Amino acid sequence: MAVPWQAIFREGRLPVPTVKTMLLNQRTNTPSLAPDVLALIHIGSTPTDALFGKIALIADVRANWHMKFSNAQYPLDSIKLQIGYPDSQGIMSYRSSGTVVDGAKSNLIKPLIWTQTNQQEIFQTAFLRGASDSIVVRYQVLFKISPVLPAGFNDQCSATEKLHLGTQTQDFTLKVFFQ
């Protein structure tokens, strides 16, 4: 027998939300995140016209590091990415680090991991252009292990998205939200 919602709230038990994702084929530049949105992960692709064509990819994250949803706290720890692209033989090659993009020429290479302390960083990585028209993005959203997390809540969410690239510059946003 299902427990009515009123009984759940009266007893102090909160429903455990599920982390969901939605792929948007655009850049989302909203100034603030909606109350149910945990993070927006942006991936931008730019094909180069050089002799040995490359695909340059940039990644940045906007997150609600102190998420509150259904009267419960969900403190975020980190968001991690791996970006893959098949080589000319079709073998997938993954990158889990990138060059930090800032106003000056940077050679600083760091893992594709965002936390509250480096949330403004933008990373770039590149692949030699092969025959494939898509990249694969693996992501992992980790929550801080905390007694404030409801019982039964999984403290991490991992998934993979395949992004189809064109011959022009493209933007993708992965929306991570609670339901």
167-176 confidence digits (pLDDT tens): 778 888 888 8
Structure token digits, residue 14: 């909160």
Give the tens place of pLDDT for each residue, 92-110.
889 999 999 886 667 889 9
Cα separation, 48 vs 56, in Å, equals: 7
What band does 115 get if pLDDT is binned at 50, 70 and 90? very high
**Plot region of 107 (φ>0 → left; ψ -120 to 50 → alpha; else → beta):** alpha
State the CATH class of domain 20-178: mainly beta
Specify the pLDDT at position 8.
39
Specify the pLDDT at position 3.
41
Residue spans of the domains in the chain: they are: 20-178
> Is residue 64 within 8 Å of residue 33, measured between CB atoms?
yes
Answer yes or no: is pLDDT of 9 > 50: no
pTM for this structure? 0.84
Q: What is the mean pLDDT of residues 15-24?
A: 82
What band does 116 get if pLDDT is binned at 50, 70 and 90? very high
What band does 56 get if pLDDT is binned at 50, 70 and 90? confident
Cα separation, 104 vs 8, in Å, equals: 54
> Is residue 142 within 8 Å of residue 81, measured between CB atoms?
no
